[in-house]
Amino acid sequence: MAEIRLIRHAQARLDQENYDQLSELGVLQSEVLGRWLSTTRRQPGRIVCGTLDRHRQTATACLAAWGQTAPPPALDTRLNEFDHQAVLARCWPELSGPGTLKTVLATAENPQRKFQELFLASVERWISGRYDSDYEETWGSFRSRCVAGLEAAVNGCEPSGELSIFTSGGPISAICQHVLGLSDVKAIEMNWSILNTSLTVLFNRRKGLRLGSFNLAAHLEVSGDARLITYR
């Protein structure tokens, strides 16, 4: 297999109650990625997406800018992000009501930083393993389903075929944990650094999967537009 590309979705609408939509900047990020891929990659190969809107919207804008008329992506729920609202609510019950998180962020001096603080504490509780009975999906089960989704995508390709997977930061970090043998804490630390529309490249060798590159974002760096560098 030439390349397995794990592509994180573009910037979503953190400022809206429905987070699962690309922002205007997110659409631009996707198009910038597609134009860059058109000069650096011959073809996308098999295309697989999680089923979230931000995954599919990223893929649609990217492939259009890439100049590709590939068949619609195969969809796989195993490549979806974990339920961040449920993880937040288990740590902060006061955020479980509709629109409460949006209200908290709207009154924060720095909404991005406030969300990061709340989210970090919530994820640390989730991955600790001490409260697994509180969650419908534990970190371990999340990692297992992401790896299963990757394996299914790989198995659906020709042995030397290319594979492009549009997904989220959580599945990418969980897959990297599996490939590199990282601890849970290190895997989550990787998650914080994954840029919107970055590429993480894997190679499928005889001895198993190998990491080729992590969080590649040359398309954003050469654009000259600092706005395109986003994490959430």
Q: Give the model's pLDDT for residue 1.
A: 57
What percentage of the chain reaches a pLDDT higher than 90?
68
Are 150 and 92 found together in one domain?
Answer: no
Are 142 and 219 found together in one domain?
Answer: yes
DSSP code string of 140-168? HHHHHHHHHHHHHHHHTS-TT--EEEEE-
What's the domain count of the chain? 2
Q: What is the pTM of this model?
A: 0.91
Is 86 exposed, middle or buried (CB count within 10 Å of its CB: 0-12, 13-18, 19+)? Answer: middle
Q: Give the model's pLDDT for residue 69.
A: 74
Are 154 and 223 found together in one domain?
Answer: yes
Kindly report, residue by residue over 218-229, the tens digit of the pLDDT: 999 998 889 999
Are 114 and 30 found together in one domain?
Answer: no
Length, in residues, of the chain? 232
- The whole-number average pLDDT for the span 162-168 is 95
Of 136, 152, 169, the position where a domain reaches its end is 136
Q: Give the model's pLDDT for residue 38.
A: 93
Range of the domain at 130: 83-136
Euclidean distance between CA atoms 220 and 195, whole angstroms: 10
pLDDT band per the 50, 70, 90 thresholds, residue 140? very high
